[in-house]
Chains A and B, each alone.
Chain A
Amino acid sequence: MNKPAELKDRRIIASSHVKLGQKNRKGQAYTDINDIFYKAEQKPSFLTGSEVIKEAIRRASVGTSVAYPITPQSEAAALIGELYAEGYLDEYFRGESEFAVMGQCAGSAFGGHRVFTTTAGPGTLRAIENFPMWAGSRLPIQVCVTCRGINSPLSIQPDTLEMHYLLEAGMLVWHAETAQDLFDFILKGFIVAEQPDVHVPLATCCDGFFVTHTKDTVNLPSDEMCLTPYDPYKSPVPCMDMETAPIRMMRDPFVMKSNYISYSTHASWQQEIHAAVERSRKHTIALLDGLIDEHNTDREILIVSSGTAVSQSREAIRLLEEEGIKVGLVKIKTIRPFPYEEIRQVTKNAKHIFVPEFNVVGWLAREIKATIPDNERVYVGPHVAGGMTMPSEVIAEEIKIHLGMKTSTAGK
Chain B
Amino acid sequence: MARMNIRISGLGGQGAVTAAHLLAMAANRDGKFSISNPFFGAEKRMAPAESYCRVGSERIYDRGELVFPDVIMIFHPQVITMQKSYTAPFYSGIQENGMIIINTPSDLLNDEDRETLEKLNVKVFNHDATKLALDIGKTELSTNMAMIGACAGVTKIVSLDALDGALQERFGKKFVASGGTASLDEAIKKKYKKKNDLLKANMECITESYSLAQAWAEKQENLQLVAV
Contacts and interface: CB of A to CB of B under 8 A. Distances in A.
| Direct A/B contact, Cβ within 8 angstroms | yes
Interface of A: 256-260, 262
A256 B40 CA distance: 9
Contacts of A256: 41-42
B210 to A, nearest CB: 31
Given A257-B41, A259-B48, 5 more contacts: A257-B42, A258-B39, A258-B40, A260-B86, A260-B87
Interface string B47-59: 0100000000000
A257 B41 CA distance: 5
14 contacts: A256-B41, A256-B42, A257-B41, A257-B42, A258-B39, A258-B40, A258-B41, A258-B86, A259-B41, A259-B48, A259-B86, A260-B86, A260-B87, A262-B41
A258 to B, nearest CB: 4
Contacts of B42: 256-257
Interface string B30-46: 00000000011110000
A259 B87 CA distance: 8
Interface in B141-199: none
Considering residues B48, B86, B87, which has the most beta carbons from chain A within 10 angstroms of its beta carbon?
A: B86
A351 to B, nearest CB: 45
B82 to A, nearest CB: 14
Contacts of A262: 41
* List of 10 A-B pairs having minimum Cβ-Cβ separation, nearest first: A257-B41, A258-B41, A256-B41, A259-B86, A258-B39, A258-B40, A260-B86, A257-B42, A259-B48, A260-B87
A256 B39 CA distance: 12
Query: DSSP class of B's interface residues: helix, strand, loop or mixed?
Result: loop
Contacts of A258: 39-41, 86
Contacts of B86: 258-260
Nearest to A261: B86
Interface residues of B, number: 7
Nearest to A259: B86
Nearest to A256: B41
A259 B48 CA distance: 9
Contacts of B40: 258
Nearest to B39: A258
A258 B17 CA distance: 15
B202 to A, nearest CB: 28
B50 to A, nearest CB: 8
Nearest to B88: A260
A355 to B, nearest CB: 38
A37 B86 CA distance: 55
A262 B40 CA distance: 12
Interface in B84-132: 86-87
Interface string B64-87: 000000000000000000000011
A258 B41 CA distance: 5
Contacts of B41: 256-259, 262
Contacts of B48: 259
A257 B40 CA distance: 7
B40 to A, nearest CB: 6
A266 to B, nearest CB: 13
A263 to B, nearest CB: 10
Nearest to B44: A256
Considering residues A256, A257, A258, A260, which has the most beta carbons from chain B within 10 angstroms of its beta carbon?
A: A258
A361 B167 CA distance: 53
B52 to A, nearest CB: 13
Nearest to B50: A258
A107 B41 CA distance: 27
A165 to B, nearest CB: 28
A259 B39 CA distance: 9
A221 to B, nearest CB: 53
Contacts of A257: 41-42
A262 to B, nearest CB: 8
Nearest to A257: B41
B28 to A, nearest CB: 26
A188 to B, nearest CB: 43
B74 to A, nearest CB: 16
Contacts of A259: 41, 48, 86
A262 B42 CA distance: 13
Nearest to B86: A259
A256 B86 CA distance: 11
Contacts of A260: 86-87
Interface string B20-32: 0000000000000
A260 B41 CA distance: 11
B68 to A, nearest CB: 15
A325 to B, nearest CB: 55
B9 to A, nearest CB: 11
Considering residues A257, A259, A260, A262, which has the most beta carbons from chain B within 10 angstroms of its beta carbon?
A: A259
Contacts of B39: 258
A259 B86 CA distance: 5
A257 B49 CA distance: 12
A257 B48 CA distance: 11
A260 B92 CA distance: 12
A212 B40 CA distance: 50
B116 to A, nearest CB: 19
B16 to A, nearest CB: 13
A204 B35 CA distance: 48
